[in-house]
Amino acid sequence: MFRRTFLASGLGLAGALAGCAAPLAPDGRTDPPPTPAVGTDSPPPPPGDAPLGYTHLRPDGNRLIDGRGSLPRADPVDVGLDAKPEWVVGVPWEDGVRLAVVTAGGARVLSVVDGDVSVLDHDLDAPPGPPLLVGASEPVLAPVIGSPLTHAVPTTGGWASVTPDGAVRLPAGENADVDALPDARIVRAAGRLCAAGRLYVLASRTREYAHGVLGDELEAASIAVLDPAGGLEATLAPPSGVVEGIAPIVADVDDDGEREVVVTASDAERGARLVALSAAGDATEGVAVGSGFRWRHQLAVAPFGPGGETELAAVKTPHVGGTAEFYRVRDGRLDLVASLRGYSTHAIGSRTLDNAVAGDLDGDGSMELLVPDDPQRELVGLRRLDGDGGGVVEAWRVPLGGRLTSNLCAVTGPAGVVVAAGRANALRVWPA
C-alpha cells in the first residue's frame, strides 16, 4: 500500500498548494476517453461568479463561515415538511438568503429575509446524494455528473466530478484514474479560480481498515492533487494508516502563509489521529485515540485560540461520548490544547459529515464552534477560554425541537449569519 509522497510532475506540490501556477501539460498517460455524464448528456456551463452553497460551507472543505450571527438571541422559525430533511444548503440572495432543503420527496426552496421565512413556489429535483446549490438567476442544484454519492464542482473550464469507477472527470484533458472514493467530495483552495485551481480528492480505495462507520468499508490510501487542465499532479499520503473521511480540509494550519492538507488517518493499532500534510510532503500529526476502530472527526481550521491563534477543531469518538478537541501546531506536532466531552457530530453509517460550523455565531467578535450535543437535540456554541493553555466552555445552547436529521447549514446574508438544521418533518431556521 502506498505510504510516501510522490510528485507526478516537475511543478511539485508546493506550487499546487501555494496558489496560482501555470497549467501542466498532459503527462502522456493513455487513459480512456472521458466517460459520458451520468444524469445529463450535456452538462451546463459552470456558474461563473454565482454564489455556491456547499454542505461543508466552503470550497476548501473548511466548515468556517464569515460574518457575524445572533444565533442564541434569534427567534427560530419552524417550517413543516412532508418528510425528514436530509440536507440543507444556502446562498446569499439579494436582500436575504435562499435555502434548499432536500428530503426523500424532493427539494424545497425557502426565502429568509430579516426574520421572515417563507416557502417559495420553486421546487427542485432532489439529487441522490449531497447537493450543491448554485445561486444563479434562480437557485438551482448542481448537475448529477458521475457518482450519485457526491456532486460535481465548478472549476476552471467547466465541472469536475467523480465517476462511479473512481476516475475524476475533468473539464479539459483526460480523466484522472485515481480510484477515488465513490462518495469523495472534490475540494479546492478557497479564493479566486486561478489561485484555487488545484483540486483535492480522496483516492486509492482500500479495504485495509474495515471500520465502516462512514457509509461503507471503503477508505482512501491517499489524496490526489489534480490540475483541471492537466490531470494528476501529485499524490499525498499519511505516514501510516488509511484516510478515514470523505474530503480533506485545505487550509493554513500553522499561520505560515502556506496551505496544508488536513485529514484523519486511522489504523487498527492506534486508531484515528489528525494529520496535516505540508507542501513539502511533511506530516504534522496529532495524538492517536490509542486503540483501533475509534474515529476522530476533523471539523474546521479557524482562529479559535484565546488570542486569535489558528487551531484545528475535531470531535473524538463522536459515536461513543464524543469529546470536542482543539489542536495547535507546536514544535512540529499538533498539540491538543483544550477539550470538552459531550458532543456528537456524526451518526454511525451516515455519509453526513457536515454537522459543525465555525464562526462568530453570536456577534461578540470571537469565534465559536457550533456542534450538536450528545443526544443531538440541542446545538451548542463552544468557545475557547482566555489565557494560555486555557480550556473550552459552552457559551450557549439552542434547542432543535427534536433530533437532528440533516447537516448544519450556515449562510452569511446582508443581515448576518443564518443557521438552519433539520429534524423530523421540519426545518428549524434561525434568521439573522
Q: Which amino acid is at 284?
A: T
SS3 61: coil
What DSSP element (H or E) covers 14? helix 13-18
Of 250, 218, 221, 274, give the one whose Cα is nearest residue 62.
Answer: 250
Residue with cell 506536532: 333
Using CA atoms, how far residue 48 sits from 20, 92, 156, in Å, is 18, 15, 9
pLDDT at 18 over 80: no
Q: Count H helices, E strands: the chain?
A: 1, 34
Q: What is the pLDDT of residues 52-104, one digit of tens each?
A: 999 999 999 999 999 999 999 999 999 999 999 999 999 999 999 999 999 99
Task: Identify whether the C-beta of residue 187 lies closer than 8 Å to the C-beta of residue 61.
Answer: yes
pLDDT bin (cut points 50, 70, 90) of residue 15 is very low
| Mean pLDDT across 293-305 | 94
Q: What is the pLDDT of residues 109-152, one digit of tens each?
A: 999 998 999 999 888 888 888 999 999 788 899 888 889 999 99
CA dist 355 and 370 (Å) reads 8
pLDDT at 273 over 70: yes
Q: How far is CA 14 from the centre of its chain?
A: 22
CA dist 226 and 240 (Å) reads 22
pLDDT bin (cut points 50, 70, 90) of residue 157 is confident
Determine the pLDDT at residue 49. Answer: 82
What DSSP element (H or E) covers 158? strand 158-162
> What percent of the chain is predicted at pLDDT more than 90?
67
Of the listed ranges 172-181, 238-247, 261-270, the least confidently predicted one is 172-181
Determine the pLDDT at residue 301. Answer: 98
Considering only residues 279 and 308, tell me which one the structure prediction assigns the higher pLDDT.
Answer: 308
Task: Identify whether the C-beta of residue 224 lies closer than 8 Å to the C-beta of residue 201.
Answer: yes
